[in-house]
Amino acid sequence: MCNVWDIGKDPVEFYDKQLDLVQKLWDNQNELSDFVKFPDNLILKNIKSKKVPITNRLLNWKNNINTNHKDVHLAISALSPYAKWEQGYDEKDVGNDFLNKYGFFELIGPTGHYETSEMAFYVNFFDINAYYPWHNHEAEELYFIVSGKAKFECEDQDVEILSSTKTRLHKSFQPHAITTIENQVLSFVIWKNKWPFNCYMLYGFWFYWRLHGISGR
């Protein structure tokens, strides 16, 4: 385990360099900038890093990236060893297979590497053949695909395969699920208008119904 001050001579410069690439992308993507304004005056916090099983897979994903923003992909990859990775679930809730193929870290937000109360901005990574079960949460959510592609399912919306630069909006408490097949997927996940501080995703009754086959969908 390390923290950002272990990166080298100037960790703030290192982090800010990667953040600048993210902000430039944000400013040039209307779907992102229209969803929520990129916060001003962000200051890097000294947060202990934490790894999950897929951390090194993102770090090593440098070929066959399938992205329109390779500079941003590589910037996030460079940050990954120093990030505080989380999963938000226990094995009893989602199974070990999912936990071996999923992880995220909060780059910007209430408990992020850069602190703000204006939004929560997560870097989200799925390995190949990952299934993120049906779930919902109070916060409005925007997915932005940086690299790879995945199948997005959502109540009251058509099933869609999203690839690099594509977005998907999930309204408050709107059930949704995500599946990767032959691709790993790196995405940005932005939350606004309420979020939990200790858990990335909230499982509601919808997930319980899906898991036990109660829903008619």
Tokens linked to 158: 């058509």
Q: How confident is the model at residue 7 (pLDDT cuts 50, 70, 90)?
A: low
More confident residue, 183 or 162: 162
Query: Is 196 among the domain residues?
Result: yes
- Average predicted confidence (pLDDT) for the chain: 86
Given a cut of 80, is residue 22 above it in pLDDT?
A: yes
CA distances from 68 to 34, 58, 149, 188 (A): 20, 17, 12, 14
Q: What is the mean pLDDT of residues 40-48?
A: 92
Distance CA(103)–CA(54), nearest Å, equals: 7
Closest by CA position to 207, among listed 92, 94, 130, 90: 94
Residue 182: the pLDDT is 85
Which residues span the domain enclosing 148?
4-211
Query: Is 216 among the domain residues?
Result: no
Instruction: Give how many domains the chain has, as a whole number.
Output: 1
The bridge status of strand 102-109 relative to strand 114-115 is parallel
Query: Is 56 among the domain residues?
Result: yes
The bridge status of strand 176-179 relative to strand 114-115 is unpaired
In order, the DSSP letters of 119-158 are -EEEEEEE-TT-EEEEE--SSEEEEEEEES-EEEEETTEE
Query: Is 161 among the domain residues?
Result: yes
Q: How confident is the model at residue 194 (pLDDT cuts 50, 70, 90)?
A: low
Query: Is 50 among the domain residues?
Result: yes
Q: In DSSP terms, which residues pair with 114 in a beta bridge?
A: 44, 108
Distance CA(164)–CA(143), nearest Å, equals: 11
Treating both helix axes as pointing N-terminal to C-terminal, what angle do 70-79 and 11-28 enclose, rounded to 10 degrees?
Answer: 150
Closest by CA position to 201, among listed 164, 167, 170: 170
Residues 151 and 179: beta-carbon distance below 8 Å: yes
Query: Is 172 among the domain residues?
Result: yes
Query: Is 217 among the domain residues?
Result: no
Helix (H) or strand (E) holding 211, with range, is helix 205-211
Residue 126: the pLDDT is 97
Return the CATH number at 80. Answer: 2.60.120.10
